[in-house]
Amino acid sequence: MNAPYSVSDYSHLVQRDRVHSAIYTDPAIFEQEMARIFHRAWLCVGHEAELPNPGDFRATTLGRQPVVMVRGDDGQVRVFMNRCRHRGMTVCETETGNARFFTCWYHGWVYSNTGPLQDVPGPAGYGADFCKDDLGLTPVPRQASHRGFVFASLAPDGPSLAEHLGPAARYLDIYMDASPLGQIAVTAGVHRTRYRGNWKFVGMDGYHPHYTHRSVLDAWRRRPGGNMADTHHGDPFADESGNLTRDLGNGHVLLDFLPGRSANLDRYLDTLRRQPQGEQYIQAMLDTYGEARGRELLAWAGDPHVGVYPNLQLIGVQIRLVRPLAVDDTEVLMFPGLLQGVPDSINSMRLRQHESFYGPAGAGSPDDAELFERNQEGLKADVEPWLHLGRGLNRERLEADGTRTGLIGDETTQRGQLRGWLRLMSETPA
Ligand code: FES
Ligand SMILES: [Fe+2]
């Protein structure tokens, strides 16, 4: 097909109520996403709690660039480019583990887990001008964190993490503060999925559950119990539920279930009390945070349902990281966060709830992945390439702080993400 668009100006591909499907299918646009978004913007690498002990590491990628996040022997978490300073091989060859040193398999250069080059084989072959101090592992150009969430940017300059997160930062707090200690453990492993579809399909869609997940909603209605099932008679996705979609700016969006959950909080707390040691958890939250904030945090249930653009989503217990591999190939990593300072039964309950919807045999997520693949297939029929994303434009509100809100099934979230996408894709490198 002759592309009716230029890949240097994307503004005509993302319009008020429609988007051109090439942004999901064109490999040239995907290449630009790698360069302009994934090799430049703030990306979440993971959470410090994944690495409780000195030497714990996880290797991953930022866009296409291999990195390793490691807690050094000094206790500090750093993100390094996973590249030997000799001839450039990856120095960390396994995805997770514990190491005091990273030894390159090629010629045996040895790096400590805090970064410096420690040793080289055959040092007599190097003259006096060979300076090991200059040849440590290369840190990512910028690294910052919020509540233990580690972010990195491959661009040396740009907005600070706080500027990038803006109002989204408080939703990271809501995830963490489901623990009366404000701390999590991320030691329950990772649950991952991969689908043959574009990365921008994942998450933040309050319109589809009545159709894609109808059997789940039917079950919630028949058998309440749980922070979603106890909301609005088992239908938190009803327009009348009071729940909202929010566009926080910079591509950050959320499905805000707080209105519906607050209205039905007493019913949910009764469910929680019936769980082993549920009362103990409720009391710990109220003792730590006080009555008003404690009740609000219990209503949130540690589930801000927020998408921090471009690659982090906090949904239910999950720290969800989205890894685009190709224009039509995406991996999603889901790390369950375990609350610190709560009875084991509470974490067990949260994990079982996660598995029931998101697990490999769950009633929800596998259907989403199937739909994403069919979506990618349908987009091959591009005689008429425009997609409609106008739901709720007729009732979307622009708030005083510049954020936008819609009803829970409105496409405020999709439009917000694509505004963030357009902004990142349109910025010229510094
Ligand atoms: S490439 Fe790493 S030691 Fe040679
Ligand atoms: Fe879904």
Query: Would you say residue 85 has pLDDT above 60?
Result: yes
CATH code assigned at 59: 2.102.10.10
Which structural domain range is residue 135 located in?
Answer: 43-153
- Rounded to 10°, the helix 278-289/265-274 angle is 130
Number of structural domains the chain divides into: 2
Alpha carbons 120 and 99: distance in angstroms, whole number: 18
Alpha carbons 206 and 172: distance in angstroms, whole number: 20
The pocket of ion ligand 2, defined by CB under 5 A, consists of 368
Tokens for 78, please give them. 């750093």
Query: Would you say residue 373 has pLDDT above 90?
Result: yes
In the sheet that holds 65-71, the strands lie side by side as 77-81, 65-71, 56-62, 96-98
DSSP 61: E
CA nearest 48: which of 173, 159, 149, 183? Answer: 149
DSSP string, 139-171: BPSEEEEETTEEEEESSSSS--HHHHHGGGHHH
Q: Pick the last residue of a domain from 153, 179, 213.
A: 153
User: Is residue 333 assigned to a domain?
Assistant: yes
pLDDT in tens, 248-305: 999 999 999 999 999 999 999 999 999 999 999 999 999 999 999 999 999 999 999 9
The predicted pLDDT at position 361 comes to 86
pLDDT in tens, 173-231: 999 999 999 999 999 999 899 999 999 999 899 999 999 999 888 888 888 788 888 88
Which residue has the least CA distance to atom 3 on ligand 1?
107
Which residue has the least CA distance to atom 4 on ligand 1?
107
CB neighbours of 383 closer than 8 A, spacing ≥ 6? Answer: none
The predicted pLDDT at position 143 comes to 98
Instruction: Give the atom of ligand 1 at the shortest distance from the alpha carbon of 87.
Output: 1
Tokens for 285, please give them. 């939250």
Which burial class, exposed, middle or buried, applies to 397 when counting CB atoms under 10 A from its CB (0-12, 13-18, 19+)? exposed
Do 220 and 249 lie in one domain? The reply is: yes
CA nearest 61: which of 32, 87, 90? Answer: 90
pLDDT in tens, 105-157: 999 999 999 999 999 999 999 999 999 999 999 999 999 999 999 999 999 99
Q: Which residue has the tokens 């390159």?
A: 104
Cis? peptide before 310, omega within 30° of 0: yes
Query: Residues 233-259: what's their mean pLDDT?
Result: 95
Cα of 206 to ligand 2 centre, how many Å?
8
Alpha carbons 152 and 237: distance in angstroms, whole number: 34
Which residue has the least CA distance to atom 1 on ligand 1?
87
CATH code assigned at 242: 3.90.380.10
Tell which one of 80, 83, 89 to mutate to probe ligand 1, the residue whose CB is within 8 A of the most ligand atoms: 89
Question: Counting ligands in written order, which one lies closest to the CA of residue 83?
Answer: 1
